[in-house]
Amino acid sequence: MRPFHRPLRPFRRLRPDLASLRWKIAALAAATACLVVAAVGVLVHLWTAQDIRSRAEAQAFNGVYSAMDDYRRTGTLADGAELDPADLPAALRHPADDKRHTAYDGHVDAGANAGPTTWAAQRTGGPGSRVLAVRVNMSNDFHTLRQLDVTMAVASPAALAAAAPLAVYGAGLLARRLRRVSETAGRISAGDLDARTGPTKGRDEVADIAATVDLMADSLGQRLRTERQFTADVAHELRTPVGGLLAAVDLLPPGETEDLLRARVRDLRDLVEDLLEISRLDAGAEQPIRARVPLGAVVSEAVTRTGLDTEVTVAEVIGGEDIGGEVIGGEADAARTVETDPRRLERIVGNLVVNAHRHGDTPVRVTVEGRTVVVRDHGPGFPKDLLLHGPRRFHTGATERGSGHGLGLTIALGQSRLLGAELRLENAPDGGAVATLRLPD
């Protein structure tokens, strides 16, 4: 049961979590995109660098082959070919045979040949002969690679900036669907058994959760309706035999036994009537009959009918000033009367006063001010469980609260909701239970 002093809305507590989920999903998508961009950038860089070297190596290898052919035929060196160049890598200075070999030199020298270079070399004859070498400068290619790296570095944040809103929007769609399910669950937990999520877009896990929540609500509603109908049927069937018992008690001779039986039978009759009233409230069969009545007079009459020693204070509003005490003669403004169902208002006040005497301690005071009725006792106060979960049937909350079937506050809460009023239960700082009924404007 939801707390009686304010609406319980679990989905409002969940909303920050759902909003956080949206940003978490967006952040995860952005982080994943960053990792993908970084991995692709590294792979593209490595692959391009390897491709540049492979093409340079093939170009150098073919250059040595052509230069060696010209040198052996004409004895002259082709353009780009050199014999025993001074800056030839050490790995190619003393080849063991006359086969072609290549080597990469990443050293950067000043001059025309500055930059990474791939060499290819081959001996012109047998062992000890001179070495013919060809170099291929890769500076332009690596400059292009650096430009590609810069372009990817600039394009990646731009792509992420464009993708981030899409990720947030997509995560927001998921969060809104989850919020819809959470709102439905919150309404069900607050007592609205007709709340349903309904069909949701897509056939995914969120749709499965929504369908499960709706199915749970259907099952829960059916069980509660069955239990309420059973309670109403039992109370209705008990009404006749209890009435017969009460009539039979009247035939007993006066005495202690007759008084004891009469009191027990009346308690049983009151219990049956309370159960019937709760059943009608649960079924929504009750409708208030509203009339404009003097609030102070209705409350005083309700307290008088309880037959319990209760102090009543009515603060009337006359000429725009609050005057404490009993009703003072003169014409009061609109705050003196309220439009409500007087019978149900008397029922609420009577139950609160009886509960204060039964479970609290004297003195019990009732204060009427404006549209507010306050009932206070000086007992142990409401138990924490009742303040947290609201009044529950056949549960008084604590041993010190005394005996009773726990239906008085339940009925008062149901009747106040029917009147559109707010019933707040709390404990006074200096001890005692305080019930505040605030009627609507």
* Whole-number Å distance between alpha carbons of 124 and 97: 10
Q: What is the pLDDT of residues 283-318, one digit of tens each?
A: 666 777 888 888 888 898 889 888 888 888 888 654
* Whole-number Å distance between alpha carbons of 286 and 280: 6
Q: Which residue has the tokens 């649960």?
A: 282
* Whole-number Å distance between alpha carbons of 70 and 401: 116
Contact partners, residue 184, CB within 8 Å, separation at least 6: 195, 196, 197, 210, 213, 214, 217
Contact partners, residue 102, CB within 8 Å, separation at least 6: 57, 60, 61, 118, 119, 120, 121
Give one DSSP letter per residue of 107-147, joined into a string. Answer: ---SSTT-S-EEEEEEESSSTT--EEEEEEE-HHHHHHHHH
Which element (helix H / strand E) includes 317? strand 311-318
CA distances from 19 to 16, 95, 207, 289, 314 (A): 5, 69, 19, 45, 49
Q: Is residue 344 within 8 Å of 415, Cβ to Cβ?
A: yes
Which element (helix H / strand E) includes 178? helix 139-189
Query: What confidence score (pLDDT) does residue 394 get?
Result: 58
Closest CA to 144 of 62, 58, 55, 64: 55
Query: What confidence score (pLDDT) does residue 290 get?
Result: 84
Query: What confidence score (pLDDT) does residue 335 get?
Result: 45
Query: What confidence score (pLDDT) does residue 429 get?
Result: 87
Q: What is the pLDDT of residues 174-231, one digit of tens each?
A: 778 888 888 888 887 776 777 788 776 667 777 888 888 888 888 877 777 777 677 6
| pLDDT < 50: residue spans in the chain | 1-16, 318-335, 398, 400-405
* Whole-number Å distance between alpha carbons of 177 and 410: 35
Query: What confidence score (pLDDT) does residue 47 get?
Result: 92
